[in-house]
Amino acid sequence: MSDTKNRIRLGMVGGGMEAFIGAVHRTASRIDDKYELVAGALSSTPERAKQSGQQLGLPMDRTYDSYAKMAKAEAARPDGIEVVAIVTPNHLHFAVAKAFLEQGIHVICDKPVTSNLDDALALKSLIRETGCHFLLTHNYTGYPMAREARRMVLSGAIGPIRLVNMEYIQDWLSGDETGKQAEWRLDPERSGAGGCIGDIGTHACNLAQFISGLAVRELSADLHRFGAGRRLDDNAHILFRFEKGAKGLLWASQVAIGNENGLRIRIFGETGSLEFAQEEPNKLWFAQIGKPKQLLSRGGAGFQGQARLPAGHPEGFLEAFATLYSEFADVIRKGETGPVPLPGIEAGIDGLRFITAAVQSAQDGGRWVAV
């Protein structure tokens, strides 16, 4: 356990009562005992903000009804927060991040970084000006076997890459979904230009680039809205041209009935292939030309990745988030970066460029667009 006096003082904007992702971030921040939540503006509704603060045991004088008030008040305190976690709908990310960065407070932001590319580029300039650290929680890069796949690719285990296939399919929008999550995720004013591609397509694209080490150069997109009256895509088929001549494709869907959180990445090289599936995160398929296909397990022979639990004890979604939180704590406290790059503002900009290019391509009949 870490020294409690040296825990990083964490604040949170959004993530109040019944908010799924807020609870995920709070849990992740505590798994390795490097943070302590001490303040929050947990809802834009004053009464809900107060109730949420009480529910979490926050002092009333550090439970705010406005992120702007919170940023100024916490910056003025000798014991004020050192980092803020932003878990609001997408359209608020930029304004909230800007308010805290201007006060010299580090930022952890749920993805996407902002709802449009111009805001993301402006945020990059502000991060550079303030010298603050910024983490974007592309949590799937925290899975041990995703990191092991990256290590194997970079070591040459499958040879030069030919194909990068991505799939992220869910079914929660297959019907006439009208809940709170669907309400803002399908609203371009709050979600941005991408629906399915912004919500889950960016995760698949980010993880594929993380594992392969290759950047996307061009794409051709077919975006579709199957749900009646929807203004944003709920299904996408996208072709990619990566650097170094590699080809790729993505199927992202939230109307694929029978699928829960089917994120899968397959990388094919000249001499072998790797396959990682988020729903089986402690396994990794490895094939070499002319040899039997192997199922590698976390903690098995040859595994060189990081894990906090003994072999046979699965690490999953929350632990992947916690890995990012833990490594970001070391950046803040010690200036130390971990063994793999953490997703930051550049990953956020890449995601917005992907969304922008996909929308442009789809609007123009699927023409190839530079990313």
Residue 2: predicted pLDDT = 42
| Six-digit token string for 36 | 């302590």
CATH of domain 4-132: 3.40.50.720
Residue 178: predicted pLDDT = 63
Which residues have C-beta within 8 Å of that of residue 250, sequence separation ≥ 6?
Answer: 165, 166, 167, 168, 201, 204, 205, 208, 236, 237, 238, 240
* pLDDT band at residue 302 using 50, 70 and 90 as cut-offs: low
Sign of CA dihedral 138, 140, 143, 145: negative
Residue 304: predicted pLDDT = 67
Q: What is the mean pLDDT of the chain?
A: 94
pTM for the model stands at 0.94
CATH of 142-309+344-370, one of 1.20.1440.230, 2.60.40.1180, 3.40.50.1220, 3.30.360.10: 3.30.360.10
Calculate the CA dihedral of residues 225, 366, 184, 139 and round it to 10 degrees. Answer: 120
**Span 89-133, pLDDT tens digits:** 999 999 999 999 999 999 999 999 999 999 999 999 999 999 999
Residue 332 has pLDDT above 90, yes or no: yes
Give the angle 351-230-371 at the CA atoms, nearest 5°: 20
Alpha carbons 204 and 85: distance in angstroms, whole number? 23
**Span 346-364, pLDDT tens digits:** 999 999 999 999 999 999 9
* Residue 18, amino acid: E
Is the separation of the CB atoms in 187 and 270 below 8 Å?
A: no
Beta-carbon neighbour count of residue 190 at 10 Å? 15
The sheet that has 235-242: what strands, in order across it?
294-297, 283-288, 272-277, 262-269, 161-169, 247-253, 235-242, 216-224, 369-370
- Mean pLDDT on 304-326: 87
How far does the chain reach from its first CA to its final CA, in angstroms?
Answer: 44
- Mean pLDDT on 186-200: 92
Which single residue is written with the structure tokens 């993880």?
207
Residue 38 has pLDDT above 50, yes or no: yes
CATH 3.40.50.720 domain residues, the chain: 4-132
**Span 234-280, pLDDT tens digits:** 999 999 999 999 999 999 999 999 999 999 999 999 999 999 999 99
Burial of 79 (C-beta count, 10 Å sphere; 0-12/13-18/19+): exposed
Residue 298: predicted pLDDT = 87
CATH 3.30.360.10 domain residues, the chain: 142-309+344-370
